[in-house]
Amino acid sequence: MCHCNDNLALRPMVAKFKKEKMKREYIQVRCSIYEKKLLQRRAARAGISLSEYIRATAFDKNIVERITPEQVETYQMLVQYKNNFTRIGNMFRKRDPKLAKEVEDLAREIRMHLKNFKK
C-alpha cells in the first residue's frame, strides 16, 4: 500500500498550526503617556518590540536588557578596582591586619555588585 497520501493528510494540520503561531488577536490596554513611554523605552533597551515586551512581562518571562557601552566600561572599571583592592589587601596582610581586612571587605562588596550586574 502506498503511503504517499499520508503527507497530504498532515498538510491541513500543519497549516492550522502555522496559523495559530501567528498573532492575529488584539488587546487594547489603557495607560498614561508616561507609562507608554516607559514601556517603549524598556522594550527598546531589551531590543524587542513593545508588543513582545508586554507579552513577555505578562507571562513572567525573564527579559534581559542590552548592555550599553557605558555599562560595559563601568563593569570593567569595577573589575579592575576589585582586583586592585584585593592586591592591596594582600600587601598589607602581615603589616596591618586591620587595614587588610577593611580593604578585603571592600573588594568583597565590589564583587557582590559585579555579581548583581550579571543578573
For 32, list phi and psi in degrees, rounded to 5. -80, 165
Residues 15-26: tens digit of each pLDDT: 555 555 777 888
Is the pLDDT at 7 greater than 70? The verdict is: no
Is the pLDDT at 118 greater than 70? The verdict is: no
- On the CB side of 53, CA atoms within 13 Å amount to 17
pTM: 0.46
What confidence score (pLDDT) does residue 18 get?
A: 53
What confidence score (pLDDT) does residue 36 get?
A: 94
Q: Which amino acid is at 28?
A: Q
